[in-house]
Structure formats: structure tokens, C-alpha cells
A = this chain, B = another copy of it.
Amino acid sequence: MQSPGEAGPVMSEALARDVVKEIPPKAADLSAWYTAACLKAELVSYSPVRGCVVLRPYGFGLWENLQKHLDERFKATGHENAYFPLFIPESLLVREAEHVEGFAPEVAWVTQGGSEKLTERLAIRPTSEAIIGVMYAQWIESYRDLPVLINQWSNVVRWEKATRPFLRTMEFLWQEGHTAHASAEEAREETLRILELYRDFAENVAAIPVYVGRKSASERFPGAVETFSIEALMPDGKALQSGTSHDLGQNFAKAYDITFVDADRAIKHAYTTSWGVSWRMLGGLIMVHGDDRGLRIPPRMAPIEAVVIPIVRSNDDRAVEASRATAERLRKAGFRVRVDERDAQPGWKYSEWDLRGVPVRIEIGPRDVDAQTVVLARRDRERDQPGQRQSVALAELPGTLRELLEDIQRSLHSQAKAHLDAHTFVAPDRAEFFRLCKERAGMVDIAWCERPECEAHVKAETTATTRVLRALDEPAAVCLVCGEPAKVRAYFAQSY
């Protein structure tokens, strides 16, 4: 049995050799590059179930890091985890009218259990507001019971025809927070607290720069009073909604009868929120950071921070022992490290770990063994770029590696930020606005009237929609599209 952290049975070598060749250039066809990168880096496999993918160990490692960082943040802000049933009886799902209208076309239904035909169909949760609302109605009695701050990590199902790893699948993994409060103000505060938490995670862990703000009415969660989101920009100029936080007002509290006796003894409906991030965020991470050689994973999200590759010369395999010892030392210092001892050429291994996006490669050859050094190669730079490889004395390895990982984390964020900045446009006039939207130039920023008809018109002409709205800076501005008085500034973009 292999020791933990050592190179495991990753893929058969013949297969892997083909693989590295097969990734198409990213700029030529993002979609083809994306699918190839997800499959060849062994993040996911397609499954025999239409619309469902398998999250393989390396992909699950990404998910575990997302979970760890978000979960810490949820707990630090007073939230607790819980688990609610997968099934929602049809009669409960339909109680909130807008909600069921929004989700009904996407629901998978259980109609048979063992040999029994059910008298009432059970929905597989597309989201859990309904079942959680029923439970909160039971649990909450007094204002002293509020706030209730609960999160759930779970699978959900939405019936989809298309399959695109992480971005569009029938079943997906996510977290959904559900909170209840005594006042509208507290619910709004919670909604915005989580929005900021998501922004912080996206920027500082996933290294994805985002725009934050509220959504237009047409982009709102079914049943919400207001939806807020974080929006990232993909290399093809399309936006990816990467996390949403909903102020549900009293809509769900009224539908599911969540009431409490307030300090003034009056019986009132609670104010609720819900918010979620799914494995879609991983899709964003892959698209934003990857290059023609494959993934580039930000160190804080990387299942493997550094891979050690021994370079064995004929009759000299001291590098293997040195690699093991180095990896062991780094593990003890808290790094996530693997040694690749497979019987293959170093160059082939470099390509494979490049493909999988490991931030740092540590090369150890016989000369390094003699000199008590190692070579560090950073994945975020091109192979011939200055500073891409450096020799480091063994004694200084942990400190240098720590700094290098931090630098890579920063560098990936700033590359992505430069892309977002370069593809954000303040549209000077209506014609240019339509052109930028149609040509998928990026995030197009205008003063906007906030009228649904106006948004529908833009969508019909360009397929772009509003991504997030924010406060107007000039009170007298008019909508760039229709000339009516502007109410907000809005980013428009085509989106996933």
C-alpha cells in the first residue's frame, strides 16, 4: 500500500501520453479546451447517467478546499451546518407560487418506492427553501429563537438536457444557507454579509476577481425580494454568476408559516434569506486561470501544492530517496505534497503535472543531491519566462516554497484582474453599447433605467443581460439604451 501523499495510480501511462497532446489551444476554442482540460486533468468523468458527471479524486480535492475555506467563514460568522431531506412532497413545494413556477420545469420526481406506487409525488430537491421553511415554522416560537443561521452542504438535482462539467449538470454539489431573522433590516444585513463573504472567497482563495451587486428583477431568484450576486468574467467575454445571496423578505415565511412571538407579544412573520455557491465556482476557476498547457490552480485551492519529481540517471537513483525525504519534510511543515516515482521520463511528468495545474514542481537530480539543492519551477509562468525556474538550497526550501506559493496566488489573481479590467467598458453611446454586447467584449457598464422592457430589448438584440446593478453616480443620468431617467449603473454581458 502506498503512503498518503505519494504518487498514486493516477492514470495509465499510455493514456496519459495521448492526453497531454490532446488539449486544444485555449484561445482558439474555449469550450473545447475547457472540456478537454476537465477530463484530461481527471477532475471529472462523464457518467452513464445523462446529465451527471463523476467528480474524481483530483476534482474532489478542489471541492474539499472550497468547502474548507467557505465552511470556516460560515462558522466564523455564527452559522451551523445541518442536513434536511432530499425529498420534498409536491404539496409542500407548491406553496410559494413564484418559487414553484420557477423550479417546476426542472424537477425530478420519485413516483415509486420499492413495489409501492406513491399517492403523492416526491420532488428531489432543486433547492431546499420549501422543506427548510416547514421545519423553521416548527422550531421558531419566540424572538429569542432568532436569528436561525443554518447552512447545508448537499447534492441537488435540476433536470437539464445539456451537460457541461461544473457549469451545467443535472445533479450538482453546493452549499445552501437558510436564515431567519426578526426584522427586515437584519435579513438584509445577513444577505449582504454573505455576499461579502462570497466576494472575499472568490478573490482571496479562488483568485477570481468579481463584480458584486444586486440583480435586476428578471434575474432574481424565484420568490426573492432581492437577489445579489458575484459575477466573474470568463476569457470568452461571457460572465459567470458564481454565488448568489437572496433576501426573501417575508415571502417564504408567509408561504410556510414561519412566525414568532416578538418582545412586544405580537405574532409576526420572520424575515428569511438563502444563499448558495456550487461547484460551478470550480468551472470559473478552471476557465479563468488555465492556459494552453492545462490547469493553473491557485495554491490555496490546490489539492497538491507541489509535486516532487526525482531525476534518475543511470546507476544513480539517489534522487528518489532525496525526493521522499524532501516531501516528508515539507508535509511535516504543513504543505500538500506528492512525489511522482513512476517509471517515466521527467519531461513527460512535467507535462502531466502542468496539465493538472500543480502550482510548483520540485525537481531533484543527482547534482542537486550533491549540492543539497532543489529546483523549483512555477506553473503560473511560461516555460521560458525569466524566474520560472530557480535553484534553492534545501535548508531554505520551506520558507522559499511558502513565499513562492503566496506569490503565485497573487500573480494568478492579478493576471485575472488585468483581464477583467481590460474587458470592462464604459459604453460611450448606444451604438457602441450594442456592439460591445453583441461581440461579447466583456462587462459593459452603462447608466440604466431598470425597466424590464428595456432589458428585454437589449437581450433580444444582443443576448446580453444585466449582470449586477449598483448605485448611480450621477443623479441626472439617463439610460444609455432608451433615454428614460437612469436609476442605476449596470454591467451588461452575455452569460453562462
User: Which residues of chain A have a CB within 8 Å of any CB of chain B?
Assistant: 1-4, 8-9, 11-15, 45, 47-49, 52-57, 59-61, 63-64, 75-78, 80-89, 92, 104-116, 121-122, 124, 131, 134-135, 138-139, 141-142, 144-150, 154-155, 157, 159, 170-171, 173, 193, 342
Contacts and interface: CB of A to CB of B under 8 A. Distances in A.
Contacts of A145: 9, 11-12
Given A14-B141, A105-B114, 17 more contacts: A9-B147, A12-B142, A13-B142, A45-B138, A47-B134, A49-B122, A52-B85, A57-B81, A57-B82, A61-B80, A64-B81, A86-B171, A108-B122, A110-B110, A114-B159, A154-B155, A155-B155
B75 A4 contact: yes
A70 to B, nearest CB: 14
Contact of A114 (B45, B106, B193): B106
B45 A60 contact: no
Contacts of A106: 114
Given A12-B141, A48-B89, A144-B9, A55 B75 contact: no
A109 B121 CA distance: 11
Contacts of A83: 54-55, 60, 63, 173
A170 B159 CA distance: 23
Contacts of A87: 49, 52, 170-171
A338 B135 CA distance: 25
Nearest to A45: B135
A45 B78 contact: no
Contacts of A124: 86, 110, 124
A347 B61 CA distance: 47
14 contacts: A12-B144, A15-B141, A45-B135, A47-B84, A49-B85, A54-B83, A55-B84, A57-B80, A87-B171, A105-B115, A106-B114, A107-B114, A113-B159, A124-B124
A485 B8 CA distance: 47
Contacts of A105: 114-115
A15 B109 CA distance: 37
Contacts of A14: 141-142
7 tightest A-B contacts by CB? A57-B80, A52-B85, A55-B83, A113-B159, A109-B112, A12-B141, A114-B159
A86 B104 CA distance: 20
Contacts of A59: 82
Contacts of A144: 9, 12-13, 342
Interface centre among A83, A84, A88, A89 (most CB of B within 10 A): A83
A155 B128 CA distance: 15
Contact of A110 (B84, B109, B135, B155): B109
A5 to B, nearest CB: 9
A280 to B, nearest CB: 15
Given A47-B131, A141-B15, A109 B107 contact: no
B116 A80 contact: no
Contact of A82 (B49, B56, B107, B135): B56
Contacts of A57: 80-82, 150
Nearest to A135: B54
Contacts of A193: 1
Contacts of A82: 54-57, 59-60
B85 A54 contact: yes
Nearest to A42: B139
Contact of A135 (B4, B47, B139): B47
A61 B79 CA distance: 12
Contacts of A109: 110-113
Contacts of A149: 8
Contacts of A139: 11, 45
A85 B47 contact: yes
A134 B45 CA distance: 11
Contact of A1 (B112, B147, B342): B147
B86 A155 contact: yes
Contacts of A3: 78
A291 to B, nearest CB: 26
A171 B110 CA distance: 13
Contacts of A171: 85-87
B78 A1 contact: yes
Nearest to A1: B78
Contacts of A148: 9
